[in-house]
Amino acid sequence: MQTATAKNLLILGDSLSAGYQLSVQNSWASLLAERWKKDPSGVQIINASISGDTAAQGLARLPALLEQYKPDWVLIELGANDGLRGFMPQDIEQELVKIITAVHNTGAKPLLMQIRIPPNYGKRYSDAFSAIYPRLAEQYKIQLIPFYMEKVVIKPEWMLQDGLHPNADAQPFIADWMDNQLKNAITQ
C-alpha cells in the first residue's frame, strides 16, 4: 500500500478507469501515472477504480480512501453503472452530491467527469442522466472533465466487443486526453 504524499490525485471510478478486461498496467490511469512519475510537478496518481462500481459503492469506499491517501484532488468518474441499470437520475445525483461533499469536507478538490450512457435508454432518460454532471459542476463550482468516451466510441477498432468499454489500443489516446484535461484542472 502507498502512503500519503504531498500531492495526490485519487481516481474514484468504475470500469472506464479501472481498465476493464485489461492488465492493470495497460489502463489509461496506469499509463498516465507512469508518465506523471517523470513530471516535475510531483503529482502522484492513485487509481482506486473498481469495475462495476455504482456511485453508492464508490461513496461507501471513499472515507477509507480519503483517510489513507489524503488526496489533494479526487477525480469522480462514477454513475455509468447506475445509468446502465436504469437508476433514477435524482438518486444518482444524490449519491454524487454525497461524494462531492465528502471530498470537500477533507479539503481536497473534487473533479467531476461528465458521463453519458448509450442512446438506447431513450432520449428523456439519457438527457436527464447527462444533465446531472454539468448541474453539479455549476452548483458546487467544481471542474467538469469532458467524457473521453465520446472520442473513443466513434472508432470501432478502439472498442471491446461489448460496445461499452475501450480496448487496449484506445488506452494511450485516453491517457493523452486525460493528461491534458487533468493538468488543466489541477492548475486552476
Residue 16 within any structural domain of the chain: yes
Distance of CA 174 to the CA centre of its chain: 12
Q: Establish if 29 belongs to a structural domain.
A: yes
Average the pLDDT over 166-181 and give the result: 96
* Overall number of domains in the chain: 1
What would the pLDDT profile of 118-156 be if each residue is shown by its tens digit?
Answer: 888 899 999 999 999 999 999 999 999 999 999 999 999
Mean pLDDT of the chain: 93
Average of per-residue pLDDT across 59-79: 97
In a domain, 3, yes or no: no
pLDDT of residue 45 exceeding 50, the answer is yes
pLDDT of 131: 98
Distance, CA of 113 to CA of 188 (rounded, Å):
16
Model pLDDT, residue 6: 60
> Is the model's pLDDT at 52 over the cut of 80?
yes
Residue 2 scores a pLDDT above 70: no
Angle in degrees, 0-180, between the axes of helices 171-186 and 28-37, rounded to the nearest 10: 60
Residue 179: which residues within 8 A CB-CB, separation 6 or more? 32, 35, 36
Instruction: Tell me the pLDDT tens digit for each residue of 91-114.
Output: 999 999 999 999 999 999 999 999
Residue 21 has pLDDT above 80, yes or no: yes
- Please indicate, yes or no, if residue 25 is contained in any of the structural domains: yes
Which CATH number belongs to the domain containing residue 134 in this structure?
3.40.50.1110
pLDDT cut 90: percent of the chain above it: 87
Backbone angles phi, psi at 13, to 5 degrees: -145, -170
Mean local confidence (pLDDT), 150-166 = 94
- Whether 164 maps to a domain, the answer reads yes
The verdict on residue 161 lying in a domain is yes
Per-residue pLDDT, 83: 96
C-alpha cell at 73: 484532488
Give the active site residues.
Answer: 15, 162, 165
The verdict on residue 15 lying in a domain is yes
Q: DSSP per residue over 109-133, as a string?
A: EEEEE-----GGG-HHHHHHHHHHH
> Could you tell me if 155 and 6 are in contact, meaning their C-beta atoms sit under 8 angstroms apart?
no
Residue 100 lies in a domain: yes
By residue range, what is the domain housing residue 45? 8-186
Gap between the Cα atoms of 92 and 171, Å rounded: 27
Q: Does 28 score more than 90 pLDDT?
A: yes
Q: Residue 24 pLDDT > 90, yes or no? A: no
DSSP state of 76: E
**Taking Cα atoms as reference points, which of 15, 36, 19, 39 lies closest to residue 28?**
19
Phi-psi region of 122 (alpha: psi -120 to 50; beta: other; left: phi over 0): left
Taking residue 79's Cβ as centre, other Cβ atoms within 10 Å add up to 31
